[in-house]
Structure 1
Amino acid sequence: MTLWRKEIEVSTDPEAERIWTSCAQSIRSQVSDAVWRTTFSGARATAFEERSLTLVVPTSLQKARIERRYFSLLTDAIDETEPDVTVRIEIDPDWTDSGERLAPARDEVAVSGADSETAGSSAESGPDIRLTFEQFVTGTSNRFSQAAALAVAETPAGAYNPLFIHGASGLGKTHLLRAISHYVNNHYPSYKVRYVTSETFLNEFVQAIRNSTQPEFKQVYRSNDVLLVDDIQFMEGKDGLQEEFFHTFNDLLQNGAQIVLSSDRAPDAMPTLEDRLRSRFKSGLITDIQPPDLVTRLAILEKKAEFSAIEIPGDVLSFIAENITDSIRELEGALIKVTAYASITGQRCSYDLANRVLADLIDKTIKAPVTVGKILEATAEVFNFTIEQITGGSRRRPLVDARQIAMYVTRNMTDLSYPEIGRAFGNRDHTTVIHAVRKIEHHMTERREVFDKVQELQKRVSEIS
């Protein structure tokens, strides 16, 4: 596509520009460079009237992509700057196109009708510099998996192919897949690397069928040098998807590409997985990650403490490591909770403070598992909204705050992935959940009312459970 801007003066509302500038910064921090260029590049706000923001984009393709895939992300970003605003997207009359679609960047091979947002940067929600081998803490529970992942990154298709990593949620599987992606991108810049969740693979596959763009879809996935697929267990029971991935898998191996898969269980523990896929998953190296031991948990906390804005005494780290034992995600969540409380109250981070703040998490009483249904029930009680309102489409500020806090609590109190949380909260996109979790995590260290609401909701969820 050839794009050029007409040489005419266009009037722009300064207030609209202010809102969009802030909104654009928020969006850009949450998506990959490829997604930004092909979806939001060239967008501008032209008017802000009666609490309605007019956003214009260069092409109808960008308008469709935003409305179909990124509208929740857009409205969330606008709400941060200017609450209770509606947004209307229009085609920018100042741009002309040749009738072809936006040309994808080198690091993104786009599928017509499907949102290919994982190539190049290899990150569905944007590259995360924290997920590297340097930041991965190794212990007895994960040393073999880390070594295998590093070997694959150093010599793609030359060590273990495929590499299959399995383990419970929150133990570091995604970190290793992202670390491989970072390493290969840095050391083999000519390689095409693609990280994707199985749900994204499914969504793009369905979209390709709907739009009759299967050849383009196949090209996107079968032209990679390294393909990393997270949460492969979600392919269970989906015959059409398994058929497509079977041929993708074979094609990649035949062409000398590296395949890395992750799952919450081993191939033999997936009863509805096709036998031919199971045998191929087992044809390479299978390695598992176990819950970290005490030494590893302490090392993880010490690594996280290096980036903390406040000093965290060793006895606090030891206390958390000794009492939060099942998941790295829960471990990091506990540390954030303690440091956030110390920060917003101005208190010194101490053993006694940690004991008080984490009392609900280290209660040894056996309780029923926390579910998203219980969290929604508790959220409705704490914030005085109905579950239908919480999972609905309203953008009123108090309701948005409650919804985002509930998403944060769900992420920290359950094993659900971002896409699963998004589905539970009204079929929202996973980028909306990521945005909410990061926002609440940040606000907990600065706003006492946010921290208190998170505490109150977690306490109520524990009581219900």
Structure 2
Amino acid sequence: MGDLGDADGLWNNCAASIRAQVSDAVWRTTFSGAKAVAFDEGELVLVVPNGLQKERIEGRYLGLVQDAIDETAAHDVSVRVEIDTDWSTDDTPEIELPDADLGLTTPAPSTAGRDEKFTFEHFVIGPSNRFAHAAALSVAETPAASYNPLFIHGDSGLGKTHLLRGIAHYVASHYPTYRVRYVSTETFLNEFVEAIRTNTLPEFKRRYRDIDVLLIDDIQFMEGKDGLQEEFFHTFNELHQNNKQIVLSSDRTPDAMPTLEDRLRSRFKWGLITDIQRPDLETRIAILSKKAESKTIEIPHDVLLFIAENITESIRELEGALIKVTAYANLTQQPLTVDLASLVLGDLITNNQKKPVTAQRIIEMTAEMFGFEVEQIIGGSRRRPLVDAR
């Protein structure tokens, strides 16, 4: 078990960075009471007072936490969040107010800089997301000229937020006079509730209607909230009628939201609906390679292949697995091998899921990735492309 002092020191530095980036409400309802209890094998373990905070951090702010760790730690460190069973349940926060600072309204260089990794240049394209990426880029290049609204759906952790933020950053960079706002549905909801409470609805309406591009993440959370749907219906209408771009993301299609009002459902289908699927093996390898390159990590191809073949649920899990393996190797001063990766990722991969990486499998994957036949890879040709593939 790692030294608790190291865990406290790392978390205190990260917490200071996070505190500077979120509102008082978010800090109070999401991070208050969080503490580090372990730092071992390249993994920082945090405990929080209740399940609500755990869910909020993992579902909304895990990227922010990981960014703070990346900036603070000398080596790659992953994070795991658990519930502190010793904490009284009476301490559960009563309200949820997400961070309004996640909005991006140009010009906003500080916000854009904080999320610089969420650009089109950092998005790995593959068969599972190629169409969604092309649609997002088209919208970014010519807002409101086509695909309005653009509706992107897919499971959590596959890149929807990356595309929305990529659009926001592209427009902010190429159209400096455009007013751009990216928010989560949760942020939109709580700003709406706060506007009602403080009798500032006119300011709220102006904030979301007097803009050129509106991007809202996780629109499925509007389900069952009649007042919010009513407000967004009028916001949508005003933006669309004034030829302003709307981009929405969701974990499901509009037709799969039973408590969404029909008038909103029909409007969500006015433009283009596209999905993002789980990345195939080749794309997963490319994602891992790009992540390793960005971290200046040299990792053997067979280790990349092992991780890519065994971690398949989401890009977030895939990158987390890479960080965990490389951090363990660095901290224990061991070489990066498939055996080491299998050991470190044992809690993520059940025995019946593990796929062995054989020499034949590596040859087959190499041939597929470089567009050759297996016979060409194992043959004697000294053509440069074949030599590079080998």
Normalising by structure 2, report the TM-score: 0.66
Aligned counterpart in structure 2 of residue 336 of structure 1, from 305, 323, 326: 323
Q: Write the deviation string for residues 293-330 of structure 1: whole angstroms up to 9, x where unpaired.
A: 11111110110010235421111101111111121111
Q: How has the CA–CA distance of structure 1 residues 197 and 339 changed in structure 2, closer, same or farther, with 3 Å as cutoff?
A: same
Q: Is the 8 A contact 2:26 2:98 kept in 1?
A: no
Q: Who is 1:27 aligned against?
A: 17
Q: Who is 1:183 aligned against?
A: 170
Q: Which runs of 5+ in 1 are unaligned?
A: 1-21, 36-64, 80-112, 367-465
Q: Who is 2:259 aligned against?
A: 272
2:187 and 2:110 mapped to 1: Cα distance? Answer: 12
Secondary structure at 1:306 match in 2: helix
Q: Is the 8 A contact 1:142 1:292 kept in 2?
A: yes
After TM superposition, list the pairs within 5 Å mapping 1:131-142 onto structure 2: 131-142=118-129
Return the structure number with greater relative CO, CA threshold 8 A, min gap 6: 2
Q: How has the CA–CA distance of structure 1 residues 237 and 28 changed in structure 2, closer, same or farther, with 3 Å as cutoff?
A: closer
Q: Is residue 104 of structure 2 the alignment partner of residue 119 of structure 1?
A: yes
Q: Is residue 303 of structure 2 the alignment partner of residue 313 of structure 1?
A: no
**2:160 corresponds to which letter in structure 1?**
K
Q: Who is 2:204 aligned against?
A: 217
Normalising by structure 1, report the TM-score: 0.56
Q: How has the CA–CA distance of structure 1 residues 77 and 189 changed in structure 2, closer, same or farther, with 3 Å as cutoff?
A: farther
Q: Which runs of 5+ in 2 are unaligned?
A: 1-11, 37-96, 354-390
Divergent runs of 4+, >6 A = 22-25, 72-79, 122-126
Q: Write the deviation string for residues 78-122 of structure 1: whole angstroms up to 9, x where unpaired.
A: 99xxxxxxxxxxxxxxxxxxxxxxxxxxxxxxxxx9974213249
After TM superposition, list the pairs within 5 Å mapping 1:300-379 onto structure 2: 300-363=287-350
Q: How has the CA–CA distance of structure 1 residues 153 and 29 changed in structure 2, closer, same or farther, with 3 Å as cutoff?
A: farther
Q: Who is 1:173 aligned against?
A: 160
2:269 and 2:277 mapped to 1: Cα distance? Answer: 19
Q: Write the deviation string for residues 254-277 of structure 1: whole angstroms up to 9, x where unpaired.
A: 111100000000000001000000
Secondary structure at 2:183 match in 1: strand
Deviation at 1:136, TM superposition (A): 0.4
1:25 and 1:239 mapped to 2: Cα distance? Answer: 36
Q: Is residue 222 of structure 2 the alignment partner of residue 260 of structure 1?
A: no
After TM superposition, list the pairs within 5 Å mapping 1:81-96 onto structure 2: none
* Aligned positions, number: 281
Q: Is the 8 A contact 2:172 2:178 kept in 1?
A: yes
1:326 and 1:23 mapped to 2: Cα distance? Answer: 31
Q: CA RMSD in A?
A: 3.0
Q: Is residue 218 of structure 2 the alignment partner of residue 231 of structure 1?
A: yes
Deviation at 1:362, TM superposition (A): 1.9
Q: Is the 8 A contact 2:19 2:27 kept in 1?
A: no
**1:163 corresponds to which letter in structure 2?**
L
Deviation at 1:365, TM superposition (A): 5.1
Q: Is residue 115 of structure 2 the alignment partner of residue 128 of structure 1?
A: yes
After TM superposition, list the pairs within 5 Å mapping 1:445-464 onto structure 2: none
Deviation at 1:196, TM superposition (A): 0.3
